[in-house]
Structure 1
């Protein structure tokens, strides 16, 4: 009674049982009766718990549990008692407030945006396992580079920045302080510091995102795995967290992420060899890089990126068949490459197709990864090397030189070649100097081209001495060919021929067939300029060899024989053997026309037009004049000079001869066939000076003829031996005296 509320009937368990059984006696009132159980209560002075029930009419009785009082209270778990509920409420407030504070507090975040750059610091290896030193750092980079949102500053660029900071890249650890300084210098938004440690028998991977302005850690995440097999999957998880921290969407992460164990290798020794191979490439040590990439492949034959490393070295040193084999292995299973590397691999594969296919693949890479300028650079290469479109190629190279791309040194180098070809020597000097400043390895020893074009033999010799070939056979051959070009420019033809012969021997020993034939072609051009009676027979043997090589070109992906045969045909025409030229052209023309390469078609058409000179000089002139002037190689004008002279069109011949003397830069830097025509071009340039003198004298212009001869004598003032061109100049000079 003391517990009940007003109008409330409460019963004990016994009363409830009796009343509930008798409810049928209520008759029609039963429909309004409700029974309730309110639980067990503890009453003052009663040792046992008492169950409390209620019966009442709906709408009249309270039908709810009575309130606690000093005489009785309901028994319930501790956590449901009033004091406990108050504590629980307070705890709930704390639990909600603390995460909310962390969620909405002003975080020390970096204003990172799409396509911003990060510097990846050196991985701290606290495990004591040396195999993790280079391999995990490379894997971390590869994983982060899969992102189209985050741009990773390449290791080459970091090394270059350290050099500008006057620090030794090989001895300087890129830690929090150094990495922040590099980031500030290079315009990167963040520094990422990876660490690997062994904790309680588990491998723990940690990555910190550091604000380079304050050197404070903005975010830090860790993942763990058991054993080596779990390291790369754990790193996948860590990288996804890092990319999310920097603001990349989950959809983007999912779209561009592939497991590191698949896109690299599960073998850490292979990954380390690959990492060291990349460092060797960066240092211009091609032979060492090949050894390391091959070692990586021997440890994991499915290591696609190691095959791409091989392809890069082989292709850049004209070993096209080996490069193609490496690319084929790389693209055999594209699941072993990340999305980005897959596009690069397909671009490399296109190098063995046509320029149209090359442009398509590199353009796709540029669209999807606009800050990865590999695509832009390779587009420029196609335009320069295969289309001879110097203006357009220069524009693309300039996009790379204006960036912080680590391979921009190559872009500066090639831009210098184009500027030499266009006669802009001041700009070329700056480009070559910048190329060396930002750290580009040599490629065809390009900076030597500038002093050659300027007739600066001593400067060219000094520039050649600065080019370290690292005793790599391809570059040793190039050094001898540049020496031959230097000596040709001052009439030292015996020395030039000796250099060409040395290049042949070096290439032969290293089994560099394309380089060997290119050196032979240079030697033949020099032999004809010397008046060597055996040069004609040597040319026949050369043409026969190149015709055999041409048959295998589609299988070896080496089309250098096409270029060599085109130039050889012109030499044959100009030195009294049109039959040899016709034999070469009969086989060359259909192959070149079907090749898809404008560069190969152009040389073949020039030679075919010039071949008409002996029987139909006017037809030869018309044929050559009909060829496009834009993007034309230097040898087109040489052929036109011979055709004009054969047709008796002295005025046009004189204008063409002057053009040849005034465009020595193009003579030097015509890339066709890896500068295969450089020595023949330079000889033609010097011969054009004597042609100018002869044609001016014939026109009655003695003074201008005398000036042209003076320029020639100044260039060949120490010519070696009794040379045909020197004798011709001497006869013209004698005519002027008379």
Structure 2
């Protein structure tokens, strides 16, 4: 390479040619020099090393690129929310770093979005002290002016970055709902020709929330009429003008409403003499507003839940004051107060948009019609006008909206029955809700939403055969649903008819309606089922928002995801939050977090406090096996089977697998085989029925039973299961079943003496999302082909993924007990294979670890024999 080429290379853009739109964050550590003088060189050096570790961790978490640093830092981010997340965590992290040294560490921060140009310096320049990457552009001094203007501990953000960060604040989880946003008005910056609006954002108790002082480089842009010299003259004049102007034209208030902000729908004020309109028109308002992708409506269930937390009676009217208090508690930006009245012989439908902080009316719209039947068209007219005033584009209002009579019903009696069904459903009165939904479809058989309601109730009650006819009726009337509900219906239809396609449907719905909790929760669940935990986490976190009436369940889902990723402290935190919100199913999973880390004392204490969760049998059996308490594992499994003996539920079938695992490890191989065969037979029997609501789980249970039986030397079940499942093509397209079936076939090949063929099947399954038993099968296939390093790699993986062993989804966690057992047996297997390869010292070290997990005196005979063989081979 000649000199010209080298210069061209060294000065090429760092990423791609031309300016790039980036988020810039500039920070400055306040009084860093004085800090060294106060602490001394040694203590200050230790503090700055801790500071560097903090910055590195935050860089990795928020995907920031550090460009320059001294007392301050310049970082680039792809998105404003990432830069804001870094700044918030950095501000709080500094306070925590300074506390042990009795100093208050604070930084100034400025956040801006703009075009920058980046290029790499030459290697020679870097060697003599230049930065590896240079960043230039007008955005850089703008961020610098914001930073220098900020007070200590203050994060100032430009008008360009503020709306982008504000809209995405939900991605920060619950704390994003509590951030404080404050405008500090228009400012002039030296060297910047135009005045700039600046904002402050921060956490309560941390952010200063004070207007910065003027400096010679930054000063507030105060209009002439507000300057002191003019104020005296203006006061008298303004008093006269204001008095007259008040009577001429009252100023219209405003509300800072952003896209996807929340509103509370207050109870309808019915000023007519027609009680029929009470529930029906209130529900119509909700249906009409929920068609918006700009305005989010707090669910009736959530508002009633908040009402209960306010210690108000269940039937308390949601008037202006009560609805405003709910809005403040739940982070809603506005209240909508609907009214219906008779004015001049006509029916007037009106709605006010209310600022919950002041309870003043910000906007009001109305529409008149003739007779009660006109009310639905009037509601459409009123809500469309309100949506526009709240910032929604007219084109979006027209595109995302269908007339109420089309997407609900023209029959007000049917609409009232549906509204009462919705209230009953929100109160978990499923029988009552079902009756109202059925009454609605009797009054109007074309009422698609009421059919959808029936399906939802039946499915909630685990009565899938009854849910299918309602689903089919709703599908036949799909054109009578609003776009969101139509997509919701499509996703549920896929769950029933094409499970492998359901995830795509839920993801599509979540992308178009990013605050629609059913879409977020079902997307996260489906991804977690496939062990795609990193992909699932953002959806699950978004569904923990304050406005979600089922946020407790979402916190539990977040905990399960973190447990599957072996992020134990985060999993514990999420489960604890779910428990605080009284989602008690999290208790057994919280105990699983401790057990996965072998903290059995607290795990057992937690399990002892669980009384009425029968699903806790899964953890009781697994934890007993994990501690080599075989009789306890058998007792728990037999108690579970006795409790479900009279049921034909899937859970009763699934319990046969942990029971079989407990029997096998206790030395009763015959009974273990019988239980596995019974599990497979039950699963296949239900799959052969006209409709099996648990088809995915039953197929997984049958495959799990075949895999377990192979380990016990019974391969006859394998062919039967694979043949029967071959009759269910749609079910067997589900990704986790494709993988599990491949593992069963691979094990069959290995047992038949074809380990290379087994590896060809298994190795493509290792995607980072593979199932626990895939790795177990890989271990044995590598052992059979003499690939020692690959064997040990699988052993370490199994030892390190105990969180996954405890939480892996599929077949009702029927493989949990076997997974947990394999996390310990992998250590014994490592000892056996190392001894067979002459690495006796390593073999004995592995055996010593195994003895800590399962002491020799607890081992059944066949495991003692295997252990003794390792010792014999190592002597």
- CA drift at 1:326: 3.5
The equivalent residue for 1:263 is 408
Q: Structure 1 CA distance, aligned partners of 2:611 and 2:438?
A: 29
The equivalent residue for 1:626 is 763
- CA drift at 1:602: 0.4
Alignment partner for residue 505 of structure 2, among 351, 361, 364?
361
Could you tell me whether the CA contact under 8 Å between 2:677 and 2:705 is conserved in 1? no
- Asked if 1:148 is matched to 2:293, the reply is yes
SS of aligned partner of 1:214: coil
The one-character-per-residue Cα deviations of 1:518-565 (angstroms, maximum 9, x if unpaired) are 122222222222222233234334433433334448775723232112
Higher mean C-alpha deviation, range 563-572 or range 257-266: 257-266
Q: Structure 2 CA distance, aligned partners of 1:277 and 1:139?
A: 17
Alignment partner for residue 683 of structure 1, among 807, 810, 821?
821
The equivalent residue for 2:624 is 487
Could you tell me whether the CA contact under 8 Å between 2:527 and 2:536 is conserved in 1? yes
The answer for unaligned runs of 5 or more in structure 2 is 1-244
Higher mean C-alpha deviation, range 577-586 or range 552-561: 552-561
- CA drift at 1:666: 1.2
- CA drift at 1:712: 1.5
- Equivalent residue runs for 1:88-487 within 5 Å: 106-124=251-269, 136-158=281-303, 167=311, 170=314, 173-195=317-339, 206-221=350-365, 235-236=379-380, 238-240=382-384, 242-243=386-387, 246=390, 248=392, 252-255=396-399, 256-259=401-404, 263=408, 266=412, 267=414, 270-280=417-427, 285=428, 288-289=429-430, 291-301=432-442, 302=445, 303-312=447-456, 315=459, 320-354=464-498, 357-372=501-516, 374-385=518-529, 387-401=530-544, 404-437=547-580, 442=585, 446-457=589-600, 459-460=602-603, 463=606, 477-487=614-624
Q: Structure 2 CA distance, aligned partners of 1:274 and 1:192?
A: 22
- Structure 1 pair 465–135 and aligned structure 2 pair: CA distance change class (3 A): farther
Superposed CA RMSD: 4.2
Higher mean C-alpha deviation, range 249-258 or range 478-487: 249-258
- CA drift at 1:107: 1.2
The equivalent residue for 1:711 is 852
Q: Structure 2 CA distance, aligned partners of 1:445 and 1:689?
A: 26
Could you tell me whether the CA contact under 8 Å between 1:689 and 1:712 is conserved in 2? no
Q: Structure 1 CA distance, aligned partners of 2:637 and 2:374?
A: 56
- Asked if 1:656 is matched to 2:794, the reply is yes
The one-character-per-residue Cα deviations of 1:627-647 (angstroms, maximum 9, x if unpaired) are 321221000122223334455
Could you tell me whether the CA contact under 8 Å between 1:562 and 1:592 is conserved in 2? no
Higher mean C-alpha deviation, range 561-570 or range 589-598: 589-598
Could you tell me whether the CA contact under 8 Å between 2:531 and 2:564 is conserved in 1? no
- Asked if 1:520 is matched to 2:656, the reply is yes
The one-character-per-residue Cα deviations of 1:609-640 (angstroms, maximum 9, x if unpaired) are 11122331533552355332122100012222
Q: Structure 2 CA distance, aligned partners of 1:148 and 1:602?
A: 38
Q: Structure 1 CA distance, aligned partners of 2:477 and 2:516?
A: 23
- CA drift at 1:341: 1.4
The equivalent residue for 1:566 is 703
The equivalent residue for 2:39 is none
* TM, length-normalised to structure 1: 0.72
Could you tell me whether the CA contact under 8 Å between 1:413 and 1:431 is conserved in 2? yes
- CA drift at 1:130: 7.9
- Structure 1 pair 736–710 and aligned structure 2 pair: CA distance change class (3 A): farther
Alignment partner for residue 720 of structure 2, among 566, 569, 583?
583
The one-character-per-residue Cα deviations of 1:16-51 (angstroms, maximum 9, x if unpaired) are xxxxxxxxxxxxxxxxxxxxxxxxxxxxxxxxxxxx
- Structure 1 pair 320–444 and aligned structure 2 pair: CA distance change class (3 A): farther
Q: Structure 1 CA distance, aligned partners of 2:469 and 2:694?
A: 10
Q: Which has the larger radius of gyration?
A: 1
SS of aligned partner of 1:632: coil
* TM, length-normalised to structure 2: 0.61
- CA drift at 1:181: 3.6
SS of aligned partner of 1:576: coil
Could you tell me whether the CA contact under 8 Å between 1:413 and 1:447 is conserved in 2? no
- CA drift at 1:233: 5.5
- CA drift at 1:688: 2.6
* Number of aligned residue pairs: 620
Q: Structure 1 CA distance, aligned partners of 2:620 and 2:371?
A: 57
SS of aligned partner of 2:826: helix
The answer for unaligned runs of 5 or more in structure 1 is 1-99, 470-475
Could you tell me whether the CA contact under 8 Å between 1:582 and 1:611 is conserved in 2? no
- Structure 1 pair 159–689 and aligned structure 2 pair: CA distance change class (3 A): farther
- Asked if 1:543 is matched to 2:680, the reply is yes
